[in-house]
């Protein structure tokens, strides 16, 4: 039992941060909600599926469950969460100096803004590819779609972001010149 808990702890330490990041990007920010959903996914894994899943499957199981939870959240009316998240965001202690913090926040905000322009399925596929380095086959398993759809979704997501990115860069360049 103890060793099972140790194994679970290792899995948790390895993948909890990346699951939080995946959910945060999927949800368009809202870090506290992303962390809650990640925790809930691990809780479900621990309660129900842990020990019955093959070793390599637990990670995919987690991403699948977490993504379903995120989809449920999209469906809910979520103004309350958004407000709460903003309050928490402002109150969070900062470890870096203000300049670095500002830079990170700016970059994060830009990434989130771009990702939010994508349909959810493309966004999930792209995030699993870029951040989690899953192969098309593994992404297909997590999202329950075919490999060829994964390929097309990822390509479309990139093409669309590329276009938007060039527009955004153009705008910021013009703004800098104006200043």
Of 48 and 72, the one with the shorter C-beta distance to another protein is 48
How many angstroms separate the CA atoms of 8 and 13, rounded?
9
d(CA 110, CA 63): 24
In DSSP notation, 4-73 reads HHHHHHHHHHHHHHHHHHHHHHHHTS-HHHHHHHHHHHHHHIIIIITTTS-TTHHHHHHHHHHHHHHHHH
Does residue 81 touch another protein according to CB under 8 A? no
Rank residues 71 and 96 by Cβ distance to another protein and give the closer one. 96
- Reading the block at residue 14, the tokens are 């390895």
Neighbours of 110 (CB within 10 A): 14
Encoded one letter per residue, x for contact with another protein by CB under 8 A and - for no contact, window 9-38 reads: xx-xxx-xxx-xx--xx-----x--xx--x
Q: 96-104 — which CB contacts under 8 Å span 24+ positions? A: none
Q: Using the minimum distance from each CB to another protein, give the nearer residue, 72 or 166.
A: 166
Q: How many residues bind another protein (CB under 8 A)?
A: 56
Query: Should residue 135 be labelled a site residue for another protein when binding is judged by CB under 8 A?
Result: yes
User: Residue 107 interacts with another protein (CB under 8 A)?
Assistant: yes
CA distance 37 to 102: 26
| Cβ distance to another protein smaller for residue 71 or 159 | 159
Nearer to another protein, 83 or 111 (CB): 111
158 contacts another protein (rule: CB under 8 A) = yes
Establish if 116 lies at the interface with another protein (CB under 8 A).
Answer: no
The answer to whether 29 and 112 have CB atoms below 8 angstroms apart is yes
- Site residues for another protein per CB under 8 A: 5-6, 8-10, 12-14, 16-18, 20-21, 24-25, 31, 34-35, 38-39, 42-43, 46-48, 50, 89, 92-93, 104, 107-108, 110-112, 114-115, 126-127, 129-131, 133, 135-137, 151-152, 154-155, 158-159, 161-162, 165-166
């Amino acid at each position: 039992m103890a060793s099972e808990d140790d194994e679970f702890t290792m899995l948790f330490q390895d993948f909890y941060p990346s699951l939080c990041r995946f959910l945060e990007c999927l949800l368009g920010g809202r870090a506290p909600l992303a962390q809650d959903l990640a925790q809930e996914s691990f809780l479900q894994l621990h309660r129900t599926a842990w020990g019955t899943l093959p070793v390599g499957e637990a990670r995919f199981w987690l991403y699948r469950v977490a993504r379903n939870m995120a989809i449920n959240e999209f469906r809910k009316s979520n103004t309350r969460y958004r407000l709460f998240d903003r309050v928490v965001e402002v109150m969070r202690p900062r470890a870096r100096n203000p300049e670095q913090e500002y830079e990170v926040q700016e970059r994060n905000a830009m990434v989130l803004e771009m990702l939010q322009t994508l349909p959810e399925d493309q966004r999930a596929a792209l995030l699993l590819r870029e951040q989690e380095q899953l192969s098309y086959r593994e992404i297909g398993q997590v999202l329950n779609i075919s490999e060829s759809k994964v390929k097309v979704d990822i390509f479309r997501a990139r093409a669309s972001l590329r276009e938007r990115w060039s527009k955004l860069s153009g705008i910021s360049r013009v703004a800098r010149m104006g200043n």
